[in-house]
Amino acid sequence: MTIAAGPASAQQTPDQPTTATQPEQGQPGLGEIVVTAQRKSESIQKAAIAIDAVSGSDLMQRGVTNAQDITKQVPAISVTNGGGSNTSIFLRGVGNVTNSSYNDPAVTPSYDGVVLGRAAGAFAAAFYDLARVEVLKGPQGILYGRNATGGAVNIIPARPELGKNGMGFNLSYGNYDAVNVDGYANLALGDKTALRISGTRQYHQGYNRDGSDDLDRSGVRGQLLFEPSSDLSLRLGADWTKVGGVGTGSSYVGSFDSSYNFIPSGFDASEGLNTTAANAWRTQQLAAPGFGFLTAMKRQQSIDFTYWGVNAELNWNTGLGKLTIIPAYRKSSGESYFYGPAFNTAYANETDKQFSLESRLSGSKGAMDYVLGGFFFDEKIKSNSIYNQEFVLPIQSYTHKTTSWALFGQLTGHVTDRLRLVGGARYTHDHKDMNGMINNFITFCGGAPDGVAPELITPPASFAYGCANSGALPRYADTLSTGSTIDWLKSNGWISSSATDQANVQLFDLTTGKGQILKTYNPVVAQGSYSRVTWKAAVEFDVAPRSLLYASAESGYRAGGFQLAEGRPSYKPEFITAYTIGSKNRFFNNRVQLNLEAFLWKYKDQQITYFTYDTSGTVINSNENAGRSTIKGLDVDAMVRPFGGTTLTGKVQYLDAKYNDLHLYTAAPRDNIGCSFTYTGASAGGAPVKDFNCSGKPLLFAPKWTVNLGAEQVVPVGEGLELVGNVNTAWRSDQWGAFEYLDFEHIRAYWTTDLGLTLRKADGGWSLGGFVNNLENKRRVAMPQLSPIGMAVTHYGAPRTYGVRFSATF
């Protein structure tokens, strides 16, 4: 639990509180934060679940404007982006790294009570004028919907308040020309209606020399609350967000030669992939140019995405209980050019649409509390993409549809005034439909592919035109846009006008006896259904008025699916069972908080993504099932308020997350994996397939030790003013960031420290302060990647940033 940095406002709607409550200035006790993670309003200290919650005002004070920085407050979570618009979330090692939109997230994001199929929509649109962010750790297969094997992240905006007229804003400016502005206005439209409008503009220059790792985001949100009586309320909401700029960037760490020796690049963390020096180094790494390689990256990375949605929430107290209905529609569309992992300008154009409807009935009957409900979700994704991997050029086009529905219920029996038993179950049915194709163009520079007569190839001086880049095949860095590339390929007969009915494999002899380009065509037209009953059993006991002891066992499930991968069109569901024992306590007249959680998770058939091979020997990025893993550990959350103006916080997580059974299958040239192997006897494109046994390796983004420490000191300075100093530091022990388990993918331990000093009115109204984030000025490794052609690249966190912030409310 965290305490908000400034005075908190009350919330009209009883089951959707706005922020943490604060003790009066000078009072010794700790404040409270109220959450709705169990579909009811309760103090986080009374919620018998593993949860962290961060208030909106605390996010503002810490300068958290994006999902990646949630790790400053929640030790269990990691949020990464390796390029493009997709976001990967990990909780205690449960998650998946992917650039493909058809892979469902293992940690379910929700925005304003609406479950989202894609993480990017939640984290791009939501980080301003927030009530709080709730992070639920472990499977949420009962009260939260689909596919929450690892947990749920609930982003909850501040709600309209009846009977109040007010407004406020936050303005900050810092290095890298960073400007963050957000504001809100709450208008009372009579006694029973209120309107809240908020907006934001966020910008900073790129942290890398090629302009990448920048920020360019604008958003607006409106909500209308109508409450004709104490038994009925209706809230309507709409939001819009525009994300632009260069986007996520990386830097070259080095490359591997044919004997898998690592050759450092000599670049620092801020070089980027598209500087003169980076392109010169990159040109030297291959013996021959591929699809447009020598022209370098003439197209700058860019992202241009729009996210918007409309939703409603109806709450009606009936004779049977409170009925809650939440309909929502969301859409995102846009395009992105990106390089990672070391692509020569990958491109994605995508439109996602989703409709959802959730209905719940909650109430009490005698000694029994109940929540009963139903959930419906319908999503359609249309995507076109090109991934120029120098010697392999995949072109993808697909439509992916998901329809999901569920029935759920949870009962809480009050055995005594202090003892409660909880049981719940959820039946989920998912249906998925994939209709798409992938064309792979593969250069053979002087070597014959398997099954091709060697006399058709003239090695090594005469390369295929794709290798020699003499103009017969369009140079990708010159054509730049997916439209012109696909049009050229269609007009010259490389793919059909419909791009869906070519033969499976075609070999093109571009000039007589001068090399070959192999074209493979793989359509995926498939559909299937997945169903599962997930369950929960728990016991809660009030040891004392401020001490809670609980234990639970619950299961989670994530549906399988389909993908564009020749010979690997589908993958199976994954399953998890989690056991938790916890205790939440307040001692010494509410001055000391100590929360403990011990957990054991059993994970089966985890969906992971890594570079492997298809039936033709082409390197592909495939979604596979990993086998079994065990995740166990201890979480300690302490807070002390020894004096009225002093607050000390500490969060420590010990995590032991290992694969009991992990086998990775691949073939040359993509078989550089740091695990022992045996030959399977099979071949891919003429190369023997290796079975790498990585059992015993840690799960990704699962540091054994995570420590978050904080201190806040409030000093009155007279005339109703006070000076507030904050120090927050976090330490992560070493962890792994990719499935090759190579040394450069081993993320070393690091500290990150943030400082803040603020002068403010004691009763609220305004504040003026300065901040320094990442005092150490060390760009930590956020996401390492090994490219299909053997280059090691890494996306890094932010460098030291500093600035001033002014806030006011009226």
d(CA 347, CA 132): 35
- Single-letter amino acid, residue 720: G
* Residue 566 · residue 554 · CB < 8 Å: no
Other Cβ atoms within 10 Å of 66 Cβ, number: 18
What pLDDT sits at residue 293?
43
What pLDDT sits at residue 287?
53
* Residue 517 · residue 442 · CB < 8 Å: yes
* Residue 376 · residue 356 · CB < 8 Å: yes
Residue that the structure tokens 């607050």 belong to: 647
3-state helix, strand, coil in the chain (%, to 5): 5, 55, 40
- Paired strand residues for 309: 239, 330
**What is the distance, to the nearest Å, from the Cα of residue 314 to the centroid of all Cα atoms in its chain?**
29
What burial class does residue 405 get, using C-beta atoms within 10 Å of its C-beta: 0-12 exposed, 13-18 middle, 19+ buried?
Answer: middle
- Paired strand residues for 783: 795
- Paired strand residues for 552: 538, 580
d(CA 384, CA 396): 6
Query: Integer distance in angstroms from the first to the last C-alpha of the chain?
Result: 28
Residue 123: half-sphere exposure toward Cβ, Cα within 13 Å: 25
ω into residue 460 within 30 of 0, thus cis? yes
- Side by side, the strands of the sheet bearing 151-157 are 51-55, 130-137, 151-157, 107-111, 114-115
| Phi, psi of 239, rounded to the nearest 5 degrees | -145, 155
What pLDDT sits at residue 447?
44
Helix (H, G, I), strand (E, B) or coil at 10: coil
What pLDDT sits at residue 759?
96
Query: Residues near 315 by Cβ (< 8 Å), separated by ≥ 6?
Result: 13, 15, 232, 233, 234, 322, 323, 324
- Single-letter amino acid, residue 544: A
What structural domains does the chain harbor?
34-162+170-178+186-213+222-440+523-809 (2.40.170.20)
CA angle centred on 437, ends 435 and 438, rounded to 5°: 150
* Residue 354 · residue 117 · CB < 8 Å: yes
* Residue 519 · residue 489 · CB < 8 Å: no
What pLDDT sits at residue 504?
39
Total number of residues shown for the chain: 810
CA distances 19 to 59, 215, 783, Å, are: 11, 27, 33
What pLDDT sits at residue 351?
94
* Residue 674 · residue 697 · CB < 8 Å: no
- Average pLDDT of adjacent 10-residue blocks, the chain of 810 residues: 35 38 55 79 85 82 72 80 71 81 84 84 73 89 77 91 95 96 96 97 96 94 97 97 92 88 94 89 66 54 93 95 96 88 78 95 94 96 82 82 95 96 95 88 54 42 38 36 50 56 42 52 88 95 96 94 83 95 94 96 92 70 89 96 92 96 86 91 80 95 95 92 95 94 95 95 92 95 85 93 95
Q: Three-state SS string across 274-321, please? A: CCHHHHHHHHCCCCCCCCCHHHCCCCCCEEEEEEEEEEEEEEEECCCC
d(CA 405, CA 403): 7
Other Cβ atoms within 10 Å of 363 Cβ, number: 16
* Residue 41 · residue 16 · CB < 8 Å: yes
d(CA 762, CA 756): 17
d(CA 95, CA 78): 9
